Amino acid sequence: MLAIPMGILAGASVTFILWLVMRMESLAGARSAELGSFMGFDPDDAILAVPILVFLGYQEPLLVAATIGAPGFALLFAVQWGIKYRARRRAMAEGGKQEG
């Protein structure tokens, strides 16, 4: 019964993350929004587990994880974007003062 709203929330969060990453990269350059690797795995490598978990019958826990995780990462990226955006504006303002 809650699967559709949960899926919409997770999907909207992923869309928001993609938009933020594109904004961050347009402001600070390519790969500026990239997260680091952990033991040779990138965070986006987790997508490889999705078909395996679905095949094993773990659709509901996967949906719950996406409903919690995607908005959490969206919040993380929003904070990261805000920090980078403010730093860029501050640098541009200081650069304008020095030249003028």
Domain span holding position 8: 1-29+57-99
Provide the b/e sequence for 23-32 (b: ≥16 CB within 10 Å): ebeeeeeeee
Percentage above 70 pLDDT, the chain: 90
Residue 89 is assigned to a structural domain of this protein: yes
- Split into its structural domains, the chain has a count of 1
Which pLDDT band, with edges at 50, 70 and 90, does 99 fall under? Answer: low
Q: Determine, yes or no, domain membership for 81.
A: yes
Task: Render pLDDT for 61-71 as a digit per residue (tens, 0 to 9).
Answer: 999 999 999 99
Cβ atoms of 17 and 74 closer than 8 Å = yes
Residue 77 lies in a domain: yes
In angstroms, the Cα distances linking 21 to 6, 29, 80, 88, 94 are: 23, 11, 10, 15, 25
How far is Cα 62 from Cα 53, in angstroms, rounded to an integer? 7
